[in-house]
A and B are shown apart, each in its own frame.
Chain A
Amino acid sequence: MRAAFEVSLAVYSTGVIVLCVLLLWAVARGPLAWSRWVCRAVAVLGTLAVALRWAAAGHIPMFGTFENTLLASVFLAWAAVVTSLRRDSAGAWGWAAPWSLALLLYGAFFRREPLPLTISEQSLWVEAHAIFAWVAFAGFLAATSVSVPRLLGRPAWGMTPEASDDAIGSWLNVGFLAMTAMILTGAWYLYLLFAEFWRWDVVGTLSMVAWLAYALVIHARLFYSLSGRGLAAAVVSVLPLLLLALWIWSVFPGTYHHFEITLIRPY
């Protein structure tokens, strides 16, 4: 099972690299019509890799940095597939590829052997918490990815400016919904584990900060019709908070979200 996973991971990673090459091609010479089919294939391959990892480890791949980078990158691929279903966003596959590649490269620096979930992680609440986290991540990164070209003065992937703003707003809403669910499921599980609903842990605090920052952007869009470059700049400016909130645990051991467990043996 583990060998099958390694093969599928290699194929999936190759697919992501191919997508990145296609993106470079699209920037230089214009998009190839079949690129989005490659994206769909990559999303399927990624899902296969996740399934095989699940079978090898005995749980949803969400334990440690390596597994989370894999899961997050596959969510990104699917977010790109969903976006590209819109007729005016057919080129949206391009945004996921660099993020997915960056995640896979980052994950490669961490331990890869499958480990069972430790007891504090064995709950459907944790699985829901992790899945909401990566849906939120995919949603906010999608919004950011549409925002970057908008910020540079041209709407992404042939969208009209209005469609571009609408896509940003829609993905912000998806990300915000998922992040809300992530925080709430996390708080509930914290109660089941530690008899309290909130701890001033760095991951929780940064998640709350990022959540509130996105709330500000959504308010500005709804009530002040923030659009165009202003909207794009606001979305891009929250990105560092999002990355810190969702990934700081992988390098900072001073949080109970840290699951790069040191394997201590008794001899």
Chain B
Amino acid sequence: MRTPVRRALSLFLDAMSSRVASFWVIGAWIALALVWLVPFQLTGQPEATLRGIGNDWLPFRAAHWALVATSAVCGLARLGKDLGRLRLKRSAGRPLPLEPMDSCVGDLEAAQAALGRMGFAVSRLEDRVTGVQRRWSLLSGSLFHLGVPLLAAGLVAHAATAGSIQFRLIEGQSSDVPLAGLAAGEGDWEALPSSAASLTLETLEPSFFQDVLLFERLAATVVEEGTGRTRGFSLSSPLWLDPFTLMSVQDFGYAPRIQLLSPSGEVVEEVIAAAALFPPGSLDRVRLPGHGYTVSMVVYPDHARMGGRDVSASYNLRNPKVLMGVERTFPSGVVEGRRLVSVGETLGVSGMDVRVAEMRRFGVLRVWRSYGWPLLALAGVMMTAGLGCRTLLPARHVVVWRHGEGLGVLARVDGRPGRAAGLPLAREVGRRISDGASGKGAGT
């Protein structure tokens, strides 16, 4: 019984760790993506469908985990080898190269001195001198490959711990209220995390480019109630509430402060409501529940007259006017009034006056948290650093041995197989040895 299990395990490890594994695993991932994902993306399938395929469909899951497994096994296998390669004198007992890339005059002492001057870690053996430069770069391949399973671990941690909530906060309003009171949007929390639960939205500044629907700015500031500290953030630059929780502003809208005034001018009822009045032309209604009035509004944030009609010349709140309608149903019938008014201007209905005293804004804020991001960031740094070292600062190896009347030189650059990469280095080393032997390069 043990033998088949061992054999299966051995086969599995071979398939995972051999160089072949990466080919079929990567090939399978590519084939799956091209055949069973990209066509759905190109035909405009909803994001939830695509997520269902890419994240949850069994063949894709298998492909993701195979990719992670093969990277992990390769990374670990490489780590052992690379650590071994860090040791000098590893070439003891190995056969000497047959053909040098370059020949030079001198002896092994001159070679040792020249390589030392060039910054190589030198190892002197009976029949050769070996040198390696940027030895630490030998670990770059392992670093990159081990970054992949760490990335996967980070994604798993993120999926297990992530949470978010979207809610509306009007300028001047505090988040220190039950979430339901903030007209909560989508999200998977029932209450705000403590770091987000005592903030007051101080300002919200949306601005648009010229007269087109192109957001140039959507910045907000909040005041922390405990410390009184003001902190700014925007869509692209979220606010770190704590090391794992972020907040950003996703969208905005208008929140008119509507007042009902008695004939003597006294405010008898006031409502500030986050209304769906953006983009210009959108109609929304707000109720004044105390007196039974309903106020309908269309906001022209940058009012102008064009072609005999009221329009907004831009999306910016420069010259706001409101097409306001007010109605109330009495037992004797419906009273109503409708007029274009400026902010602060009143509209009289059945002896009472209604006005938009102020046009505030509300922000659609998102707070989210992930405990997986540090792992993901570390994985990203490992992968980039590994590849960066290998590409930009690869380890360089040189072997110098007695060859004919002089010395033979062979050089190799890590990650660049073939003679072409090592040839310029071999020539440089040969020249330095010759110069050193003839006394020209001494001290350089």
- Report yes or no: B280 in contact with A266, Cβ–Cβ below 8 A: yes
A191-227 near B? 1/0 per residue, CB < 8 Å: 1110111111110011011001101100111111101
- Report yes or no: B370 in contact with A191, Cβ–Cβ below 8 A: yes
- Report yes or no: A173 in contact with B212, Cβ–Cβ below 8 A: no
Of the listed stretches B104-112, B213-221, B285-293, B337-345, chain A binds B213-221
Is the C-beta of A188 less than 8 angstroms from some C-beta in chain B? yes
- Report yes or no: B41 in contact with A205, Cβ–Cβ below 8 A: yes
In angstroms, Cα B209 to Cα A122, docked, is 14
In angstroms, Cα B164 to Cα A209, docked, is 30
Is the C-beta of B405 less than 8 angstroms from some C-beta in chain A? no
Is the C-beta of B313 less than 8 angstroms from some C-beta in chain A? yes
Of the listed stretches A9-17, A35-43, A66-74, A174-182, chain B binds A174-182
- Report yes or no: B158 in contact with A197, Cβ–Cβ below 8 A: yes
Contacts of B30 in A (CB 8 A): 209, 212-213
Chain A's nearest CB lies how many Å from the CB of B107? Answer: 30
Is the C-beta of A162 less than 8 angstroms from some C-beta in chain B? yes
Is the C-beta of B366 less than 8 angstroms from some C-beta in chain A? yes
- Report yes or no: B313 in contact with A266, Cβ–Cβ below 8 A: yes
- Report yes or no: A197 in contact with B376, Cβ–Cβ below 8 A: yes
- Report yes or no: B34 in contact with A209, Cβ–Cβ below 8 A: yes
- Report yes or no: A192 in contact with B236, Cβ–Cβ below 8 A: yes
- Report yes or no: A264 in contact with B312, Cβ–Cβ below 8 A: no
CB-CB nearest in chain B for A263: B212
Is the C-beta of A1 less than 8 angstroms from some C-beta in chain B? no
Chain B's nearest CB lies how many Å from the CB of A172? Answer: 10
- Report yes or no: B44 in contact with A192, Cβ–Cβ below 8 A: no
Contact A162:B420 (CB < 8 A) given known A115-B209, A202-B41, A209-B34: yes
Contact A266:B281 (CB < 8 A) given known A123-B236, A165-B418, A166-B420: yes
Is the C-beta of A254 less than 8 angstroms from some C-beta in chain B? yes
- Report yes or no: A267 in contact with B304, Cβ–Cβ below 8 A: yes
Is the C-beta of A252 less than 8 angstroms from some C-beta in chain B? yes
- Report yes or no: B236 in contact with A121, Cβ–Cβ below 8 A: yes
Contacts of A118 in B (CB 8 A): 214-216
Chain A interface residue count, CB cutoff 8 Å, equals 61
Is the C-beta of B275 less than 8 angstroms from some C-beta in chain A? no
In angstroms, Cα B54 to Cα A189, docked, is 20
- Report yes or no: B41 in contact with A201, Cβ–Cβ below 8 A: yes
Chain B's nearest CB lies how many Å from the CB of A73? Answer: 23
Chain B's nearest CB lies how many Å from the CB of A247? Answer: 14
- Report yes or no: B419 in contact with A216, Cβ–Cβ below 8 A: no
Q: Which residues of A88-142 have CB atoms within 8 Å of chain B's CB atoms?
A: 115-116, 118-123, 126
- Say which residue of A119, A174, A222 sits within 8 Å of B236 (CB atoms): A119
Q: Which residues of B418-441 have CB atoms within 8 Å of chain A's CB atoms?
A: 418-421
Chain A's nearest CB lies how many Å from the CB of B26? Answer: 5
Contacts of B23 in A (CB 8 A): 216, 219-220
Is the C-beta of A163 less than 8 angstroms from some C-beta in chain B? yes
Chain B's nearest CB lies how many Å from the CB of A88? Answer: 8
Contact A119:B54 (CB < 8 A) given known A197-B155, A216-B27, A266-B281: no
Q: Which residues of B34-84 have CB atoms within 8 Å of chain A's CB atoms?
A: 34, 37-38, 41-42, 44, 47, 50-51, 53-55
- Report yes or no: A165 in contact with B313, Cβ–Cβ below 8 A: no
Is the C-beta of A265 less than 8 angstroms from some C-beta in chain B? yes
- Report yes or no: B391 in contact with A174, Cβ–Cβ below 8 A: yes
Contacts of A180 in B (CB 8 A): 383-384, 387
Chain A's nearest CB lies how many Å from the CB of B381? Answer: 9
- Say which residue of B215, B380, B417 sits within 8 Å of A119 (CB atoms): B215
Is the C-beta of A184 less than 8 angstroms from some C-beta in chain B? yes
CB-CB nearest in chain B for A189: B236
- Say which residue of B164, B209, B383 sits within 8 Å of A184 (CB atoms): B383
Chain A's nearest CB lies how many Å from the CB of B232? Answer: 13
- Say which residue of A119, A202, A219 sits within 8 Å of B19 (CB atoms): A219
Contacts of A266 in B (CB 8 A): 211, 213, 279-281, 302, 311-315
- Nearest 7 A/B pairs, CB to CB: A166-B420, A267-B311, A202-B41, A195-B368, A200-B50, A200-B54, A162-B420
Q: List 18 A-B contacts (CB under 8 A).
A: A119-B217, A119-B236, A122-B237, A123-B237, A165-B420, A173-B416, A176-B391, A180-B387, A192-B246, A195-B246, A219-B19, A219-B23, A220-B23, A221-B417, A252-B42, A255-B41, A263-B212, A266-B314
Given contacts A200-B54, A266-B281, 15 further A-B contacts (CB under 8 A): A123-B236, A123-B237, A162-B419, A169-B416, A176-B387, A188-B377, A200-B41, A208-B33, A209-B34, A216-B27, A222-B417, A261-B214, A264-B212, A266-B280, A267-B313
